[in-house]
Structure 1
Amino acid sequence: MAEKYKKQDLSRASRLSVAPMMDWTDRHCRYFHRLLSAEALLYTEMVTAPALVRGGALHLLDHHPAEHPVALQLGGSDPAELAQAARLGAQAGYDEINLNCGCPSDRVQSGAFGAVLMRQPALVAECVAAMVEAVDVEVTVKCRIGVDDQKPEEILPDFLDQIRAAGCRRVTIHARMAWLDGLSPAENRTVPPLNHDLVRRMKAAFPDMHVSINGGIATLEQAQALLADGLDGVMIGRAAYHEPADILAAADPVIFGTGAARDPIAVARTMMPYIDDHLTSGGRLHQITRHMLGLFAGRPGARAWRRTLSEQGVRPGAGPEVVEAALEPIFDLMDRAAAE
């Protein structure tokens, strides 16, 4: 198990983080993303506290030592249960425990957690305090600027003030309202207008808190501009997943000032031993390669790469040879370009 990151190291890593995304940021995705960036902070999919504490689903905590720094995001609203789940996450080796106060899905609402908690800052503070007391790793919160008919300028400062008093010193704010009645989770990622300026103002109002911004950020240039505005970190979701070479492969030199941009072909090749290990343990190729479809997005050969992985990666018995076959059009186009 990797040595746990100290708070100052996590603060630096969270200058750029990859958002927790249900069905996307599983352990295979995170391992792949780590090969693209040695520095960025990675997050799990949301894991519910009841699943861990009542359901005993400890396999949801599985991760590879190479993923660090990596944070576990929990969903829940019972302080005692969240404290126990946080303890399980810390024991499993996660560097940070994050409380989800931003997910707008119906399933999350019915469980009385996620974005609906924006209406109950005192309960969130109680949850944070219980988690802080339970673990020796940092406890953080990811939230929205508000929900439904709330006025963000009024409720968000109070929300931040209460979680800060409970021991949270690092928060990620998704700069959109969440409409819990009338919009789907997908629509909640795009329809409510962005309010980056409000998040900037929250950083100014809470200078002692580490404030990261999330929502509508699609390029490293945007991330750099937001950091230059005084925000402490930028969290990127869909762009990091769908265009990982543009975001993560260049993140270390651009955002952290370390190393060089990673070569997507080298990253694909470096995945081979991991793929072999997964197949040997009874896994399927597509469980990994589905996360690699965007590796060459916007580059020559990207369509052939996606098609080969999508069509052949799901076949029974598919192995690393599928990845090699998907790379062939990339090499062919590179050879042609070199010859011209």
Structure 2
Amino acid sequence: MTVPQRDLESDPAAGSARRILVVAHTGREEARAVTRAIVGALLGHGLVVRMLEDEAKESELPAGVEVESVPCEAAGADECELVLVIGGDGTILRACELTHGTTTPLLGVNLGHVGFLAEAESEEVDTMIERVVARRWSVDERLTLDVQVFQGKEKVASTWALNEASVEKAVRSRMLEVVVEVDGRPLSRFGCDGIVCATPTGSTAYNFSAGGPVVWPEVEALLMVPISAHALFARPMVVGPTSTLAVEVLARTEGAGVLWCDGRRTVDLPPGARIEVRRGASPVRLVRLHEAPFTDRLVAKFGLPVAGWRGAAERRRRQADHVHQDQP
């Protein structure tokens, strides 16, 4: 869902001092160089830059460059106009943890391989800075997942995900025996390597690798995709956004499982554990600088072959014919 950018007149985080939280992957010199350039440009336009302490130090900012250096637990994303993320999708997912539960949007600068969540490439930094300073951007609200884990009647964990919550076997040699459920009704029982419960945003991540469908971001839905299931009926499924998905690890299973959320947060799943997944209460907000359709993003990110497509040429020919027919 695309929503207008925040009301900067009434937003307390957008007062006289415009503050940007910069989150960076500092493990490579390329990323550190881009970080230094972006921080310098933002400061040059009179914006206040906030950085996490370790990243500010590791970025090797030039002498005289002053940023607000804060510990991770005091990042204060809700006090910032936006979070500018420099890295790949993994860095953006890490930044999502800082903004979860707030209305602060994220703007990703891709330095990774694919960067589906990012909006700008490193060579577009100058244009990106101009648009940030001028506040010329829109926001996409992305559906998230709320995930709960039960052992018996006791809830033992509660977490969330932007891309996916995956139930996986903990030991390679032991498959999981599970029952999957939709809206309180059992659907099937089988042995498998795991189950991916994904959002449309995550449909191009782990879900894609597991053979699940690609779902356009504006579609509100939840996905369930078995991984290497030993069953005749173990197809990828797409359900409505109000549905609840559940996976029960059978008590008789010989192997234990583990829950992974976005590949970052884990919960151990002993036999008998139950995982419930539903639409999250707090969406993630991603800044958009371009109005290009998702189809174009798919083609660009995956390098899909489209040579020979005559759609545009045929459309121009029809338009020309129509104009010619209208002439006296």
> Please, what TM-score do these two structures have when normalized by structure 1?
0.22
Q: Which has the larger radius of gyration?
A: 2
Structure with more of its chain in strand, by fraction: 2
